[in-house]
Amino acid sequence: MSNGKLIKSFEDAIQDIHDGATIIVGGFGLCGIPEKAILALREKGVKDLTIVSNNCGVDDWGLGLLLANKQIKKMISSYVGENKIFEKQFLNGELEVELVPQGTLAERIRAGGAGIPGFYTATGVGTPIAEGKEHKEFNGKTYILEEGIVGDFALVKAWKADTLGNLMYQKTARNFNPLAAMAGKITIAEVEEIFEAGELNPDQIHTPSIYVQRVLKGENYEKRIERRVVTQA
């Protein structure tokens, strides 16, 4: 591992991710996913992972690669509809799943990153989501208590970074990445470009460097389409 926050290889960047770790992973579908770090995790072979992410990729890309390698023990997600391996493992009892409404998932991650242990929300009241959770009334309306999420590690994908670890994301690839970056005890950011400190416009920084512990540059990123929809000729 190199000096400071700049890391030379993905192998070095994830070297201390251990069996049983909880990892928050940025991205939405296949957009803005830390694909190189995911590939490195597959090669490392760590297992019994709890993954917190919007979804679990597709069968042959993204987090779906870790599923196929049976490295994930539990998924905390808001959407799981694009992965047949996910469905098979869940139905076979090989995969534990905690489904969370998308807004609640985003806020649980944000709260964890902000040091807030829990919050009340009306989302899910009167549904299976609310079972076993504390209920409380505010101004005549019922809310349920949701807990913030903190990961042992967070993996994010950014567009640009500087040597201090300040991050900028590209358009919709921002999605869950800034939230994930806040909520990891150790946040690993893979980026497309790295600049010297002071070269990025401070007003355009999305994630301040205080949240980021490791930065490294990836090459040859793919732009896969999660679901192709075409009209008939």
Is 164 in contact with 5 (CB distance < 8 Å)?
A: yes
Gyration radius from the chain CA atoms: 18
- State the average pLDDT over residues 126-130: 96
Q: What is the DSSP string of 50-114?
A: EEESS---BTTBTTHHHHHTT-EEEEEES--TT-HHHHHHHHTTSSEEEE--HHHHHHHHHHHHT
Give the list of residues 6+ apart from residue 128 with CB closer than 8 angstroms, or none.
Answer: none
For residue 224, is it within any domain? Answer: no
CB atoms within 10 A of CB 124: 17
Position 2 scores a pLDDT of: 43
Torsion of the alpha carbons at 104, 105, 106 and 112, rounded to the nearest 10: 100
Provide the whole-model pTM.
0.94
For residue 15, is it within any domain? Answer: yes
For residue 213, is it within any domain? Answer: yes
pLDDT (tens digit per residue) in 65-74: 999 999 999 9
For residue 200, is it within any domain? Answer: yes
Considering only 48-52, 118-122, 227-231, which range has the smallest mean pLDDT?
Answer: 227-231
For residue 135, is it within any domain? Answer: no
For residue 37, is it within any domain? Answer: yes
For residue 173, is it within any domain? Answer: yes
Q: What is the CATH number of the domain that holds 172?
A: 3.40.1080.10
- The values of phi and psi at residue 82, to 5°, are -110, 15
For residue 226, is it within any domain? Answer: no
Range of the domain at 207: 10-118+149-217
Domains in the chain, number: 1
Position 150 scores a pLDDT of: 98
